[in-house]
Chain A
Amino acid sequence: VTSSPRPEPRRVLVIIPAWNEEATIAAVVDETRAALVGGNVIADILVVDDGSDDATGRVAEASGALVAHLPVNLGVGAAMRTGYRYAQRLGYAITVQVDADGQHNPADIPALLRALAEGADIVIGARVAGDGAFVARGPRRWAMSLLSGTISRIARTRLTDTTSGFKACGPRAIELFARSYPAEYLGDTVESLVVAARSHLVLREVGVVMRPRAGGQPSHGPARSAAFLGRAVLALGLALTRPRPELRGEPYRRYEELGA
């Protein structure tokens, strides 16, 4: 895999997987750009349009983001892998994934990047109490604490929110995810972390405040909570017993050591 020549190599790529998010995508792109400029981060924004039926792709293009159009809907795992492949091919050192529904506040991106620079391969933006705090109850809550507890143990660090889609990744994580970003249920969050932890990547988390969705429908209703618990247990069990992915590429290097 060769990377295309670019006049000015940029180091950070913000990946926004979007499926039928025409109502919010332009605002998310604009806000992300503003946050990057405000945080003095040189970055490109890539929207991966996951086969949307609405105008998501064109709205994203009009807002000035790079847009990769998946010809059919493949799910968030495939959208993320597309983003990581793009990052790897064009030699981005860092990626940040942000949801297209406006739940994540792009103003937190510099905090994630700082934590990454302090020595981590993956930094998770963990949902904490605050305005629009994420409150889970019943089986969903049990499932989430089971997932967090188990992944914390493998990663040898305390993680409180392993189903967050707000993550920053360094070069080793990009290399791993470009090759094998899980497509299974919960693969985009839980299994990707299990894979990373088992490959001895360094995981950290930073508390971020979630906002209510700016638009679109929540993908989880209360009725699905019990099914979520069952599938979460299966997903975790499978992820833990799969053959360990071998880590290729360079050994871990700090953000500063990557050179300007």
Chain B
Amino acid sequence: MNLLAQSGYPFALVVSALLLLALFWLLRTQRLREKYSVLWFAVITGWLTALAGVTTPINLVFILAFLVLLVVCIQLSIEISTLEESARTVAEEVALLRLELERRTGKPQSLPGQETDVRQPHTDESPAS
């Protein structure tokens, strides 16, 4: 404990550097989207400064707990990035299929919930302004 407390700063430095490298690698391989990464760059920087002042053993418990939570959060961000990409691909495919359907049947299809929307009927030739 005491040893770790004394060497808290280099320890924090090494862990932070590893986390930064891991984040960059995740971004590079497109497993994490950039908008989630910015938050973690900030969190890691804050964590680095906090860790530099380790003086009491109980802080180590907090640090380890925080580290676990950090890893869990990064993991969740990775999952969300993957899901977002899948949702994007599916939505694009839906849009193209709907266009193909409209092209073949010759008329626009109304989506569920849009049938009652008469705000801008399709037959209206004058565009809303």
Contacts and interface: CB of A to CB of B under 8 A. Distances in A.
A85 to B, nearest CB: 6
Interface residues of B, number: 31
Interface in A61-93: 61-63, 66-72, 74, 78, 81-82, 85-86, 89
A115 interface: no
B120 A59 contact: yes
Nearest to A89: B96
Interface string B62-105: 00000000000000000000000101100110111011101100
- Is chain B's interface secondary structure helix, strand, loop, or mixed overall? helix
> Which among A25, A54, A62, A81 has the highest number of chain B CB atoms within 10 Å?
A62
- Is chain A's interface secondary structure helix, strand, loop, or mixed overall? mixed
A136 interface: no
A48 interface: yes
A63 B127 contact: yes
A217 interface: no
Interface of A: 4, 22-23, 25-26, 48, 54-55, 58-59, 61-63, 66-72, 74, 78, 81-82, 85-86, 89, 183-185, 231, 234-235, 238, 241-243
15 contacts: A26-B127, A48-B95, A58-B120, A61-B108, A61-B122, A63-B127, A67-B102, A69-B99, A72-B87, A78-B92, A82-B96, A183-B88, A184-B33, A184-B34, A234-B34
